[in-house]
Amino acid sequence: MAVMRKFYNPEGLGKRIIDGKLLYSHVVTVRGGTRVILAGQVPRAEDGSVIAPGDMRGQIVATCENIKKGLAAAGATFKDVVRSTTYVTDMQEYFRHVSARIPYFAADPPTSTTVQVSALAHPDFKVEIEVEAVIDEAPPARPAARASARRAHRAPPRRASRPPAARPRRRR
């Protein structure tokens, strides 16, 4: 079944619009598909260094770029995102630069929650964003070597056994 997404902004609920673009949807319904859930992404480079320390706009962009890479690994894009949660250390500063995320969530924006926290995983992080997407197909399979190595550490499956009296009798 193909994924069917519907984005709603019911009358009577306020709408946050930045630069003429809707910042988020109030309600998203999804039917069918495979869920893709990304852990919170931060402005961290591949080598582990912090990208754009002290620069909220730069960190929003770097975080969205990391989300793009994570989504791509599962065969998804920002168009597939239906939910986001953003953690920031300074809400006022975040909303001064929130327009930096609009190019990423441009089409139908997902539902979105923003929470101010006292700190993130590194003292130089100002933003962390986690997303959930829904795609038509399951993510690509893992390489066989990894999957077989993982299976080698699992206990063999248990077979359910029924007492002899509960087993059905065969007719001859």
For position 149, what pLDDT does the model report? 46
33: left (phi over 0), alpha (psi -120 to 50) or beta: left
Rounded CA Rg of the chain: 22
Of 79, 131, 137, 132, residue with least CA distance to 108: 79
Three-class SS of 12-71: CCCCCEECCEECCCCEEEEECCEEEECCCECCECCCCCECCCCCHHHHHHHHHHHHHHHH
Question: CA 36 to CA 110: how far, in whole Å?
Answer: 14
The HSE-up count of residue 46 (CA atoms within 13 Å, CB side) is: 3
First CA to last CA distance, the chain: 44
Each residue's pLDDT expressed in tens, for the chain with a length of 172 residues: 688 888 888 888 888 787 888 878 888 888 889 999 999 999 999 999 999 999 999 999 999 999 999 999 999 999 999 999 999 999 999 999 999 999 998 778 999 999 999 999 999 999 999 999 999 976 556 665 444 444 444 555 555 555 555 555 555 5
Q: What is the pTM of this model?
A: 0.73
CB count, 10 Å around CB of 116?
A: 12
- Whether the Cβ atoms of residue 81 and residue 74 lie closer than 8 Å to each other: no
Q: Are strands 21-22 and 17-18 parallel, antiparallel or unpaired?
A: antiparallel
CATH superfamily of domain region 15-135: RutC-like (3.30.1330.40)
What is the 8-class DSSP label of residue 123? T
For residue 152, CA distances in Å to 12, 123, 146, 149 come to 56, 40, 10, 5
Question: CA 157 to CA 12: how far, in whole Å?
Answer: 53
